[in-house]
Amino acid sequence: MMQFFSYFCTNESHMRRIRIYIAGLLTGVTLLVTAGCKVDNRFDLNKLDTESTVLKGTQFKIGSLKPVYLCDFLKLDGVYIVTDERGDYRIRFDTDSFPFYVYGPPASGQDLTYKFEPLVYEMADLSGMLSESAQNLVAELSELEIALKVNSGVPAVFSFDAVLETAKGSEILRKYALDALSVAYGKTEYILNLTGKGNRNDVIYRQIRDLDKVLNPIPDALKINDLTVSIDKDQLALLEPGTEYEVSGQASVDTPLSFSADSRLDLAIPIEKAKLNQDEIGLKKALLTMDVTSTIPLDFSASVEALDDNGNVIPGISANTDVPIAGGTIDASVETAVTVTLTTGGDLRFDGLVLHLSASSNPKVAGTHLNQSQGLEFRNLILSLPDGIQVKKDKN
């Protein structure tokens, strides 16, 4: 919105109004003055020196910026990325069901072992759903769980061993040994996690070390290798010789996306409304103040760059911030008052600003879930000219 400040001038014949238009800080600053009158009876524009300072201490209200949400920068999308009822982001997917068959053995009185071909689950491009920024944040997934669901048609108890692998192309990224998992007739479910503990009574928990690294690096396939089913000879009497028994299995992956202790994040926030670029005026110093409310649990250091009308960084303009932006949470936001000081040795002119934010983390942040409501809100943006504007007279 165009803002203006009005000053009155007088001469012997009539009153005339001088309007100094600050064109919304969208199209720059333009000074329109009427020759031969006095500004507030203080300045006779006909008698001004080549450059004179006016509007000392003037403030221009820019207003607010559109809130910035973390998810906008992380580009969290795709078939594997979901939000739960609280708004937390999760990776969650199920593999296809993989069947295998056990045959009733001849009455040999010996333990029997069956070996099966590897099972491969090709994943869609999960790495494409997690931007580099997101991967920098979620390097560790301490709450990750893999559920193994087995539906057995074998009327006996058997155990199976396998190796869970993650792969990218032909490269094996991670290996996890699954030893002696006991399966009874009907449905059996195992949950693999870091602790071997959980709240459900209808599943069997199994501790798997380093499981939080299973998606780091991000694979494009999950494989179950060296799948071996063993049936104790005491259980063989329950099987009919020559009979085919079907067993089907399915794996599910579920984990919230959480900040790690060494999370890193860099954001660039354009401030297009902050615009001072006009030949008729001279500026040496400007202050940009704002209130920043954060629900992101990371502390940000801030820096600013001034841009020309082509979006290029203008050299020679120093832009410093006074304080870091404190992190908050969706349950307890934190507000920080920030002042950016812009100075230059020549005339201060720019067509826009870019606020660069770099996040630092700490161990207390580790495990905090990424949530769709986490973001930054910028309010009460004011551009101040503490030393005023130098009006440049047209000598013609």
Domains and CATH numbers, the chain: 48-70+263-392 (2.60.120), 77-256 (2.60.120.1260)
* pLDDT tops 90 at residue 128: no
Q: Is the pLDDT of residue 313 over 80?
A: yes
- Structure tokens given for 87: 């708004």
Q: Is the pLDDT of residue 361 over 70?
A: yes
Tokens of 131: 């931007």
Q: Provide the pLDDT confidence category of residue 41 given band limits of 50, 70 and 90.
A: very low
Q: Torsion angle, CA of 281/284/289/294, rounded to 10 degrees?
A: 110
Task: Provide mean pLDDT across the span 56-79.
Answer: 75
Query: How much is the pLDDT for 257?
Result: 86
Claim: this prediction has a pTM higher than 0.85? no
The reported pLDDT for the residue numbered 374 is 93
Instruction: Give the model confidence (pLDDT) of 233-291 as tens digits.
Output: 888 888 888 889 999 999 999 999 888 777 778 888 888 766 666 555 667 788 889 99
Q: pLDDT band at 78, cuts 50/70/90?
A: low
Average confidence (pLDDT) over 30-34: 27
Judge whether residue 360 has pLDDT over 80.
Answer: no
Distance CA 234, CA 238 (A): 8
pLDDT in tens, 147-176: 999 999 999 999 989 999 999 888 999 999
What value, to the nearest 5°, has the Cα angle with vertex 45 and ends 43 and 51? 90
**pLDDT on residue 390:** 65
CA 185 from centre of chain? 45
- Which residue, chain included where needed, has tokens 């996690």? 193
User: What is the band of 19 on the pLDDT scale with cuts at 50, 70, 90?
Assistant: very low
Q: Hey, what are 221's tokens?
A: 């396939």
Q: How many CB atoms lie within 10 A of CB 54?
A: 21
